[in-house]
Amino acid sequence: MPKTEIILTHNIVGLGAESDQVKVAAGYARNFLFPQRLAIPVTQGNRRHLEALRQRRAEREAHEFNTMTELSKALSKLICVIKVKAGEDGKMFGSVTAGMIADELKHQFDISLDKRKIHLEHPVRTLGEYEVELHLHAEVKGTLKVRVESTTPAAAPAPEATAAATPAGDRTEEGKKPRTEKRGFARRDVKSEKAPKSEKVEKAEAPEAKKARAPKAEKPAKTPKTDKKEKAE
């Protein structure tokens, strides 16, 4: 297939930027590039436009650099939340792709970003927070925080789990009393058995204690008989 040399007047991904001289298929240049004014044939007269094309290219690249630098700063402060379906173990049904991240950036923040500038080192297949690398420009790189959350509601804890969390001392079986109550009854029974002995001791010791504590009262002295007779006379 014959080829022809052309001068690009616009940036074409995979082919070159404006002012670049490249060789392409003659039919591709004749049927697409020239009609769309994306390129011009290499002639002595067209070479004069190279300086103007190079100046325009420098201005475009400077503008892209500044724009992507500002975008990198803005994206570093954002958290892109992606809702997915996942199982109880946190594993997703599928994976998060660069296209999904680009769509959510447009939906949540109205930021248009080519998915080819989003680089995922490993497939994201579990829930959590990730830092995704961005290649925004040849000289500008950035990062974006992506939080992957599940749309499935969390399951309620099973009753067995709550029962297992209860201390063993707090659980009682039906028809049985806690150990503390049994010990209390045992102590009361022992006291009740020993009670009669203490009562006997107190009764036996009571008279002696009363004698020791209470002194004998003095009896009034009897009047001599002689005194009575004298009074009679």
pLDDT score for 209: 46
Domain of residue 18, residue span: 3-67
**What is d(CA 228, CA 233) in angstroms, rounded to the nearest whole number?**
9
Task: Say which CATH number the domain at 49 has.
Answer: 3.40.5.10
Confirm whether 130 is domain-assigned: yes
- The total of structural domains in the chain comes to 2
pLDDT score for 195: 45
How far from each other are the two terminal CA atoms of the chain, in whole angstroms? 186
Confirm whether 124 is domain-assigned: yes
Confirm whether 128 is domain-assigned: yes
- Are both 91 and 59 inside the same structural domain? no
Instruction: Give the model confidence (pLDDT) of 79-108 as tens digits.
Output: 999 999 888 777 788 889 999 999 999 999
Please list, residue by residue across 163-191, b when 16 or more beta carbons sit within 10 angstroms of its beta carbon and e when fewer do.
eeeeeeeeeeeeeeeeeeeeeeeeeeeee
Q: Select from 129, 150, 171 the last residue of a domain.
A: 150
pLDDT score for 94: 85
- Are both 62 and 80 inside the same structural domain? no
Confirm whether 195 is domain-assigned: no
- Are both 92 and 145 inside the same structural domain? yes
- Are both 59 and 85 inside the same structural domain? no
**What is d(CA 218, CA 210) in angstroms, rounded to the nearest whole number?**
17
- Are both 61 and 125 inside the same structural domain? no
**Low-confidence stretches of the chain (pLDDT beneath 70):** 1, 153-233
pLDDT score for 205: 47
